[in-house]
Amino acid sequence: MFDVLITGGKIIDGSGGESFFSDVGINGDVISEIGDLSNAEAVRKIDASGLIVSAGLIDTHAHSDGALLNDPQHANGLRQGITTEILGQDGLSYAPLSRENYLINKRYLAGLLGDPPNDLDMSSVKSFRSHYHKKVAINTAYPIPHCAVRLETLGFTDSKLEGKNLDQARQIVAEGMEQGAIGLSTGMSYFPNAWSTTEELISLCEVVAEYGGVYITHLRDVNTDRAFGGGGVTEALEIGRRSGVKVHFSHYRTDPSSAGNVKEKMAEIDAAKSEGVDCTLELYPYPTGSSYPVCFLPSSAHEGGPEVVLQNLKDPKIRKELISHVESETRRTISDAVFTYMPNTSDLEGMSLVDIANSMSMSNGEALVHLLIENDLQVGYRHAPPDSVKLWNQVSQDCLEFLARDDYMVGSDSIPLGSFPHPRAYGTFPRLLGRLRRSFDVISLETMIQRMTDNPAKRFGLTKRGRVQKDYFADLFVFDADHINDNATYDDPRQFPTGIPYVLVNGEIAVDNEKCTGAIAGHAIP
């Protein structure tokens, strides 16, 4: 007798090998049998005739840290077939932080991660993981975020991490790794991360390497004078080369400015791999991204944390200087920003900065500063997609060419906040498995599934995950290969995909006939 029996489906087991017809029997949270189980009995039977039975998808890059604490059902992820998410991305999350630093940092990151409860213990990686273990619908894994290491040693200051402070930082990383972290993450466009030097990151990554962890990096484009080789790919590879750590590149893909240049994009990384630097990468299949606009402010404006940032924005003299900086910024453009999340001015969500500025008779910079003040910095935005369909299609095809490589994975970079989130929060995986796979026919379904399951499980040490295999955890995703599709768009993003009738997390049915069941079965892993 099985708890759950899935019959008649075609298995794509995650190995990259050919699919095969078989039944899958589940007891408790593991796969008990794979084979002809047509005569077996079960508490619940699922007829998967005409469907694919795959290992549950692993999202290698999600900003759901706060959202999961407020909405543990997490339908936007589950309905895509995602059974595991790696949190703590871009070096931005909540632990290990003292209570004071947790309250400061959650306020500072509210435009990206939302507003989780104040009364949570975030003093260690262990305590962080406890808030998700069997309390949310998906599995979660966690790298130590660089921001926490800096805040616990230096606070919100642009100071060099060295001497006793560096020793303390290395100890924080070691303790986090011992408590189940999978590595160290950093985002070198954000603060306090961007106040670091390459030497600091090498020292911290030496500790990560001792534990076999991974350095997950959003590449530097701020304070590049502090970085080896001017930041970017060159700095990340040097960190891997000198520390011996495994390097993982976040959301590394082409965009409208580099569409079609896949080989050029990979040249420096491939050269380093040939020298022995251990690298992997991830992407999401959209031409533009999303973030929180506090990062438009200059480096000096972030010192002191969110309360000082707001004081600066309200000070007439400093405010004028900040507006001038924002409007002259060449590293990022604000002119095509569309606001996704502004809880105090939610009626403006979905509007572009240009339209809001015009309606208020303000410049773009003045309007942005006004909105940051009105929402206590809790603002999210995305960029508008390109007008050229041809250009957009080239970026999409590039994504599949990247995924044809055996060192690639998929990370949605999901920010599931507000009424107009980036569509990647609802559509990343079915967009790849459905629309783009059928449109471009670059790689097989088996290969694509391998990149979304076994590849990340192996890279990040997620034990007995990522495959349909006996004695593995029963994280499973049942879908219609001919009809799976994303429905989320830039103008209507909160739309669930179709063609995914069943999702199981640790043996419990989390999605049943395309409806969330309310099961809260996620584990804090590995």
Instruction: Locate 251 and state its tokens.
Output: 């959301």
Q: Give the pairing type, strands 476-479 and 502-505.
A: antiparallel
- Tell me phi and psi for residue 75, to 5 degrees: -60, -35
Eight-class DSSP state of 360: T
**Of the candidates 203, 134, 221, 116, the residue with the CA atom closest to the CA atom of residue 162:** 203
Q: Is the torsion defined by CA of 103, 109, 115, 117 positive or negative?
A: negative
Residue 301 is encoded by which pair of tokens? Answer: 């404006």
pLDDT tens for the chain, 526 residues long, are 999 999 999 999 999 999 999 999 999 999 999 999 999 999 999 999 999 999 999 999 999 999 999 999 999 999 999 999 999 999 999 999 999 999 999 999 999 999 999 999 999 999 999 999 999 999 999 999 999 999 999 999 999 999 999 999 999 999 999 999 999 999 999 999 999 999 999 999 999 999 999 999 999 999 999 999 999 999 999 999 999 999 999 999 999 999 999 999 999 999 999 999 999 999 999 999 999 999 999 999 999 999 999 999 999 999 999 999 988 864 457 888 999 999 999 999 999 999 999 999 999 999 999 999 999 999 999 999 999 999 999 999 999 999 999 999 999 999 999 999 999 999 999 999 999 999 999 999 999 999 999 999 999 999 999 999 999 999 999 999 999 999 999 999 999 999 999 999 999 999 999 999 999 999 999 9
Alpha-carbon dihedral sign for residues 190, 152, 322, 340: positive
Is the model's pTM score more than 0.85? Answer: yes
Which residues, in sequence order, are CB contacts of 515 under 8 Å at separation 6+? none
Distance from the Cα of residue 70 to its chain's centroid: 18
Sign of CA dihedral 459, 460, 461, 462: negative
Is the alpha carbon torsion for 380, 284, 77, 423 positive or negative?
Answer: positive
Is the four-CA dihedral 401, 403, 408, 414 of positive or negative sign? positive
| Distance separating alpha carbons of residues 465 and 454, to the nearest angstrom | 7
**Token pair belonging to 115:** 């507003």
Inter-residue contact 95 to 297 (CB < 8 Å):
no
Mind spelling out the 3-state secondary structure of 370-405? Answer: HHHHHCCCCCEEEECCCCCHHHHHHHHHHHHHHHCC
- Per-residue tokens: 343: 């809880």
Q: How far is Cα 16 from Cα 453, in angstroms, rounded to an integer? A: 10
Instruction: Spell out the long-range contacts of 126-133 with Cβ–Cβ below 8 A and sequence spacing 24 or more.
Output: 126/179, 126/180, 127/95, 127/96, 128/93, 128/94, 128/95, 128/96, 129/179, 129/180, 129/524, 130/524, 131/69, 132/68, 132/69, 132/87, 132/522, 132/524, 133/522, 133/523, 133/524
Between CA 143 and CA 180 the distance in angstroms is 9
- Strand, helix or coil for residue 364: helix
